[in-house]
Amino acid sequence: MGPLVQIGGAGRIGLDHPTVETDGSRVRARFGYGGLTVSWRPTSARWPGLSISLLAGAGNVDVEEPNGGAMLDSDNGAIVEPTLRISRPLADRLALAGALSWRLALGFDALGGIDSGRLRGPELALGVVVGPF
């Protein structure tokens, strides 16, 4: 079997809503994004669980008052996120997985200094995968 290319979709939302303080002003940010993903799994006996993927899509950041939760601003922008994943089977339909990605955010500029620079950065994920591999 040769290399495998997969096309799909993914979405992410932040479950934590950090409070950001800029110039004496405090706001809470809610952030989520989603888009099209293209993944490539090379054929490798040495690294059978390796995959490289790219997510390209759009996101939204909502800026709220930290105490009352009243909406102050909302802005949309573009997201590009390359990811390197590796998984290792543990049992018949169970694997340990890790992923390292870098989120690039473009075009965000909301109140409270919540801009593209604050929304971009690295992510490390570790987890257990259940299902066919």
Kindly report, residue by residue over 92-122, the tens digit of the pLDDT.
889 999 999 999 999 999 988 889 999 999 9
Domain boundaries, the chain: 4-130
118 backbone dihedrals φ, ψ, rounded to 5°: -80, -20
Residue 97 has what DSSP assignment?
A: E
Report d(CA 102, CA 104) in Å as an integer: 6
Q: pLDDT-derived band of residue 33, with 50, 70 and 90 as boundaries?
A: very high
Tokens (6 digits) for 51 = 């995959």
Helices (H), the chain: 116-119
Instruction: Report yes or no: 34 and 57 within 8 Å, Cβ to Cβ.
Output: yes
Q: pLDDT-derived band of residue 1, with 50, 70 and 90 as boundaries?
A: low
Kindly report, residue by residue over 51-79, the tens digit of the pLDDT.
999 999 999 999 999 887 789 999 999 99
Query: How many CB atoms lie under 10 A from the CB of residue 14?
Result: 13
Which pTM was predicted? 0.83
Give the strand pairing for 121-130 and 19-22.
unpaired
Bridge partners, residue 126, by sequence:
98
Residue 20 has pLDDT above 60, yes or no: yes
Instruction: Report yes or no: 71 and 77 within 8 Å, Cβ to Cβ.
Output: no
